[in-house]
Chain A
Amino acid sequence: MNRPRGMEPMHLVFAALGGAVLLFIIAPLAGMVLSTGRSELSRTAADPAVTASVRLTLLTSMGATLILAVASVPFAWLLARRNFPLKALVNGIVDVPIVIPHSAAGIALLGVIAPGTLVGGTAERLGIEFVGGPAGIMAGMAFVSVPFLVNAARDGFAAVPLRLEQTALALGASPLRVFFTISLPLAWRSVLSGLILMWARGMSEFGAVLIIAYHPMITPVLIYERFGAFGLRYARPVSVIFIGVCLALFVVLRLVAGGRRHAGG
């Protein structure tokens, strides 16, 4: 810190290595954007199949996030605050979707939500179609992305000073009121960041959704289909548009989330 000028040789080497990693991330994306013509982009952006798939992707991933949040956020509080038998196992189970191949996850899910099964059959009678429908897409997205929300929210709740919750209880607030008026507001930044991560992860999901619902087509599936049927030239503009939409959204959300600083310090 106090070195006024110059850098440790080690720092220079590390910075060069970091630069290589950054280049590895940026170069393919930049290459793709640069090799895509403006006319191609505008034509693709006007393609109803593309706009419909982008809309579907954004809405299903958002829906999956919000629906799972109702159960995951209280669950995350429990993981942060209470000790119970086999807690380590429970924490491990939460992380399972991160480590298994997503196509396998899709196959596994299909076994539960296919029309002939208990869940799938019940849903069908209620008018919800999993396989080949938005509900199935959401299931696939939720399965692979929910660990991000649970983990972020759990860390957020764990960082809320326990004494504050105890103080609120001692002041006569019910545990539910303490959760909503103390724990959740103080952990809000982490919870929000978990929601954004989960949404982002859901939006970019391909493998699990491909197995459960090829149609209606979410954008990652559409990109794959255009690549398979027409080749790189046709897959590229869709990719660029989708990446643009995702990045724009996350920049905005991060800015909004970053502006709401009030948790414990």
Chain B
Amino acid sequence: MLEVDGLSKRLGDFSMRDVSFEVGAGEYFVLLGASGTGKTVLLETLTGIISPDSGRVVLRGRDITRIPPQRRSLGVVFQDQVLFPHLSVRGNIAYGPSSRRMGRAQTNKAVERLARETGAEHLLDRRPKTLSGGEAQRVALARALATGPDCLLLDEPLSSLDTVARADLRALLRRLHASGTTIVHISHDYEEAVSLATRIGVMENGTIVQTDTPEEILMHPRSEFVARFVGIRNMYRGRLERGERDASRFIGRGIELDVLTDAGPGPCVALVRGEDVTIELQHGTSSARNVIAGTVREVLPARLGFEAIIDAGVEIAAHLAGESVFRMGLRRGMSVFVSIKASAVRVIQS
């Protein structure tokens, strides 16, 4: 659907270098990076606001690198100042269709349909100034979709929202994705990325350092930067069920964990930091709710201390001090117990 090939751009001190990735039809691709890594420059290059020094952008087989913004079939939602303040919500959503000379009846129908799909139906006659952040983003999404774009480009669409609005909007994005919309989403928040993406591209210093599924990015970061940026080494997909007392039960493929979370039952992702995984030689010496038997697959030196990869039906990475590794005599093939506190498991609904 969208192919980005070797994009480079120098802008004063900053340079974007050789950015390449491909997004298939119906994919949800998250560009993940800290601020100042070049995400915005990339976005502006994709939308045609700035033109690259070299490289190509191909949308549905058409090279759009030198095509002006108004003739690219991309739906764009910028981070802030999203809505036209002098137009009503209806006028905002209808702006694209009427710019493309869609008939009035057809435009009205499209506006109504998109407002319904994005949950902005009751807002149609309001002014942007009277909307909450979440409502404004819904309208911005409806407006971007109204031109029937090949691909939706979102620039940090959730970053200025409060927790509740964020969860609502994530659900909406998931729905749009499920209905077949191809989405490229720019974010600095790995939780957001993990909960939405089918694939993630991690940006660092003006280039993409790793493109992979969320599982691969978290569990096998290909660089120090990625590892530290995401900070989480264990990720499991599954679903959440109500457990005994205050704990919930996470059930994934090959692993079950007691977790402490506010999240309700349903599909989710469980994340555990390597630092939160403890290794014991005997069962029953810790207070942790989750104790799992496994075999040491590898012990690798890390930036600080060591990282042990345990095969316990699934792969579990533990971050340990060198002292512990030597004291236990940890080595390949050893049988150990992995313990994880229920409160150390982060659950993100998906």
Residues of A within 8 A of B (CB): 161, 163-164, 166-175, 177, 181-182, 185-186, 262-265
Contact = CB atoms under 8 A, between A and B. Distances in A.
B118 interface: no
Contact of B96 (A172, A174, A186, A264): A172
Contacts of A169: 48, 68-70
Interface residues of B, number: 27
Top 6 nearest A-B pairs by Cβ distance? A171-B96, A173-B99, A170-B76, A169-B69, A161-B81, A172-B99
Given A186-B86, A262-B85, A264-B85, 14 more contacts: A163-B80, A164-B81, A168-B99, A169-B68, A169-B69, A170-B75, A170-B76, A170-B144, A171-B143, A172-B71, A172-B99, A173-B95, A177-B99, A262-B86
Given A264-B85, A265-B85, A171 B99 contact: yes
A265 B127 CA distance: 13
A186 B76 contact: no
A185 B88 CA distance: 14
Interface of B: 47-49, 68-72, 74-76, 78, 80-82, 84-86, 95-96, 99-100, 129, 143-144, 146-147
Contacts of A265: 85, 129
Chain A CB within 10 Å — which of B48, B74, B86 has the most? B86
B86 A163 contact: no
A170 B70 contact: yes
Given A163-B78, A166-B47, A167-B78, A172 B84 contact: no
Contact of B100 (A168, A172, A182, A264): A172
Contacts of B47: 166, 170
Nearest to B96: A171
Contacts of B144: 170-171
Nearest to B82: A167
A175 B70 contact: yes
Contacts of B69: 166, 169-170
Contacts of A177: 99
A163 B78 CA distance: 7
Contacts of A168: 84, 95, 99
28 contacts: A161-B81, A163-B78, A163-B80, A166-B47, A166-B49, A167-B78, A167-B82, A168-B84, A168-B99, A169-B48, A170-B47, A170-B74, A170-B76, A171-B95, A171-B99, A171-B146, A171-B147, A172-B71, A172-B100, A173-B70, A174-B70, A177-B99, A182-B84, A185-B86, A262-B86, A263-B85, A263-B86, A264-B85
A172 B129 CA distance: 24
Tell me what chain A mostly uses at the interface: helix, strand, loop, or mixed.
helix
B84 A164 contact: yes
A163 B81 contact: yes
A181 B71 CA distance: 18
Nearest to A186: B86
Contacts of B86: 185-186, 262-263
Contacts of A166: 47, 49, 69, 76, 78
A264 B95 CA distance: 18
Contacts of B81: 161, 163-164
Contacts of B70: 169-175
Contacts of B71: 172
A169 B86 CA distance: 17
In this complex, which of B72, B75, B78, B129 has the most chain A Cβ atoms within 10 angstroms of its Cβ? B78
A173 B147 CA distance: 11
A169 B78 CA distance: 12
Contacts of A161: 81
Nearest to B70: A169
A174 B98 CA distance: 11
Contacts of A172: 70-71, 96, 99-100, 147
A172 B74 CA distance: 9
A201 B72 CA distance: 45
B246 to A, nearest CB: 45
Contacts of A167: 76, 78, 82, 84
Contacts of B95: 168, 171, 173, 181
A165 to B, nearest CB: 10
B156 to A, nearest CB: 13
B71 to A, nearest CB: 8
A41 B80 CA distance: 58
A178 to B, nearest CB: 8
Contacts of A186: 84-86
A208 B75 CA distance: 54
A29 to B, nearest CB: 39
A161 B47 CA distance: 17
A182 B144 CA distance: 16
Contacts of B49: 166
Contacts of B85: 186, 262-265
A247 B75 CA distance: 50
Listed residue (B69, B78, B95) with the most chain A CB atoms within 10 angstroms of its CB: B69
A168 to B, nearest CB: 7
Contacts of B100: 172
Nearest to A169: B69
Nearest to B91: A181
A186 B146 CA distance: 23
A182 B81 CA distance: 13
A35 to B, nearest CB: 49
